[in-house]
Amino acid sequence: MGKPDLSTTYLGLDLAGPVIASASPLTRKLPTMLQLEAAGAAAVVLPSLFEEDVRAQPERAEQRVELARVAKEQLKIPVIASLNATRPGTWQEYAGRLVDAGADALELNLYTITANLGLSSAQQEMEHLAAIEAVRIAVDVPIAVKLSSYYSAISSFAAQAVDAGADGLVLFNRFYAADIDLKTQRLVSALDLSTPADQRVALRWVGILRSQLPPSVSLACTSGVHSADEVIKAVLVGADVACTTSAVMQRGARAVTEMLEGTSAWLQQQGLDSISEARGRMSLGPNGSPAVYERAQYLEVIKGEW
């Protein structure tokens, strides 16, 4: 038996493997992006251009466009540019400029804290959908939408995001909350990198959405992908790719190589020739394992013996 075929398709892009380097300081510089490519990352997502930056620091926005140009020129793997905006606005112009600079696809990162007393979840979601529509109108490359797990009705919002123009969904962004320094009694920003346990919520929702959304909608599983185990779990619930940041921040680009080698070894142990044979085996489909996704499992856990 030869080496298993790890190739996959994500957002209509043919990728050599299932691991993508998600947006982080490592994708902000060409040398680290080249290391990630050499280690086997199948695509890179550039750090997000924030709508606030477009307004307050236009030079920052120009730097992102330049980064997209350089990355596209120097890398062989697809380059996905990222925008963080939660309502239509002047930032839309940059969607087109990032694509003109060479981005193969766009990721729209809907990271927002909704703490406005006058803004209901329905209104907030309408703004998010309008932001997706605005990008859809601005560009003709594929669009992935990176969601948080805080929507009250994730399946419904996911379906509406697809209707608004998303070609794929990235589940889920991690939220960073400030800590308190007890000496100074000031807020301090805390960057806690993830652990594999952080993957579970995404696993659940990729598994559910894979059987609810059309197969043409790409799904990326992100948060907590540290080893081949998490890549394989992502694929089993139906993800087209697994994205990683914390692992490469901790262990360097070789973390990606280890994930790919471990995935290959597992496929071989299972007697599978390709990753596509494993994809979706554990999604909430007719042949899946529904109990993993349902309320019953919650009850089982909290009523268990401790």
Ligand X SMILES: Cc1cc2nc3c(=O)[nH]c(=O)nc-3n(C[C@H](O)[C@H](O)[C@H](O)COP(=O)(O)O)c2cc1C
Nearer to ligand X, 260 or 284 (CB): 260
Is the separation of the CB atoms in 283 and 211 below 8 Å?
yes
Q: Which is nearer to ligand X, 158 or 255 (CB)?
A: 255
Which of residues 8 and 245 has its CB atom nearest to ligand X in the complex? 245
* Sole window of 22-30, 135-143, 180-188, 272-280 interacting with ligand X (rule: CB under 6 A): 22-30
Report 147-186 residues binding ligand X (CB under 6 A).
173-174
Task: Name 61's Cβ contacts closer than 8 Å, sequence gap at least 6.
Answer: 49, 53, 54, 91, 94
Q: Are the CB atoms for 275 and 231 separated by under 8 Å?
A: no
Binding pattern for the stretch 77-96 against ligand X, x by CB under 6 A and - elsewhere: -----x--------------
Instruction: Say whether residue 32 binds ligand X (CB under 6 A).
Output: no
Q: Which stretch binds ligand X (CB under 6 A): 65-73, 181-189, 190-198, 280-288?
A: 190-198
Single out the residue of 152, 183, 148 nearest to residue 169, CA to CA: 148
Pairing status of strand 8-10 against strand 13-15: antiparallel
Closest approach of ligand X to the CB of residue 248, in Å: 8
Assess 246 for contact with ligand X (CB under 6 A).
Answer: yes
Write out the DSSP string of 119-172. Answer: --HHHHHHHHHHHHHHHHHH--S-EEEEEPS--SSHHHHHHHHHHTT-SEEEE-
Compute how many other C-beta atoms are within 10 angstroms of the C-beta atom of residue 82: 25
Residues that bind ligand X (CB under 6 A): 22-25, 47-48, 82, 109, 146, 173-174, 191, 193-194, 198, 222-225, 244-247
